[in-house]
Amino acid sequence: MSIKYKQFSSQELGLFKQYQRESYKILERVKNDLKVGMTEIEAARMIRKTFHQQGVHSYFHVPVVLFGERTGYPGEFGQLEALATDKKLEQGMAIILDAAPIYDGYIVDTSLATSFGENDQQSALHNELQYFRNEILKSVKEQKTFKEIELAMDERIKSLGAENCHRKHIGEVMGHRVFMATGFLWKYFRYRQLSVRHVLWLLWKSIATKKGWINDSPNWNHRTTSKHKPFEGLWAVEPHFSVNGIGVKFEEIMVITKDDAYWLDDELPHTRLWNEAG
């Protein structure tokens, strides 16, 4: 059993792309099945059930459901407060659905920011997200450090009069590595639907980098451990910000090679939304 986090073959990249699309399809399906009065807990249970029907039984993190002001990580939002609550869905509420399923050892991490009915404020913020997608990729291609890129995105967030929410994520990440576990036994090690092998590998890498034992952080944030040129591999990028309690984000895989970078897929819910809007 081993972890693979770089030098993926075209076939492996094709599977990451396929699985990322499958994950987004499930989030969109669940969004369309939401009802007024449904709680975050009920929606999270619906996500897990739908993945289970598809054959997914383990996750990198449990499905996240955020309604209303919780999409904007209000106040001193703790890193575990993203766990689903009994908050009920109302007409016009902003919504974030986030899932990190593991398909045959492959991690994908996807996030759908939408609303239940019309929400003009979130729609306006959604339009701003396209800048982040374009600028982050451009900066990686220019070989700016991960820290420099996050700091620039933070300045952009402030210029919008918005609050940086991704610094309230676990690990304060704007992005993190995604990878695959090879070998047959990995699928039998789970704790509350979390893949022990995947989670412990990223945790070990995070701790070892902070201690200075290695220089290969799996986290992309504003800390000293991200003061390096972009590392080769696959990265789940998730800029997240809010205005007046309304949060927006996307999360998708960026491929970084030794001499280039690109988004794994340009046909995702948020890119379709921007294209339709012209």
**pTM for the whole thing?**
0.93
Q: Could you give the domains of the chain?
A: 2-277 (3.90.230.10)
Asked whether the beta carbons of 249 and 129 are under 8 A apart, the reply is: yes
User: In the chain, what is the greatest distance between 2 CA atoms, to the nearest angstrom?
Assistant: 50
Q: What is the pLDDT of residue 184?
A: 57
Closest CA to 266 of 104, 48, 24, 67: 24
Q: What is the pLDDT of residue 276?
A: 85
List, as own/partner pairs, every contact residues 138-143 make where C-beta atoms lie below 8 angstroms and the sequence separation is at least 24, other chains included. Answer: 140/230, 140/254, 140/256, 140/261, 141/260, 141/261, 143/229, 143/230
d(CA 65, CA 76): 18
Q: Are strands 180-182 and 110-115 parallel, antiparallel or unpaired?
A: unpaired
Q: What is the pLDDT of residue 196?
A: 65
Q: What is the pLDDT of residue 186?
A: 53
pLDDT in tens, the chain (278 residues): 588 889 999 999 999 999 999 999 999 999 999 999 999 999 999 999 999 999 999 999 999 999 999 999 999 998 789 999 999 999 999 999 999 999 999 999 999 999 999 999 999 999 899 999 999 999 999 999 999 999 999 999 999 999 999 999 999 999 999 999 876 555 555 556 666 677 676 777 777 787 777 778 999 999 999 999 999 999 999 999 999 999 999 999 999 999 999 999 999 999 999 988 77
Residues making up the chain, counted from first to last:
278
Q: What is the pLDDT of residue 193?
A: 62
Specify the 3-state DSSP secondary structure of 6. coil
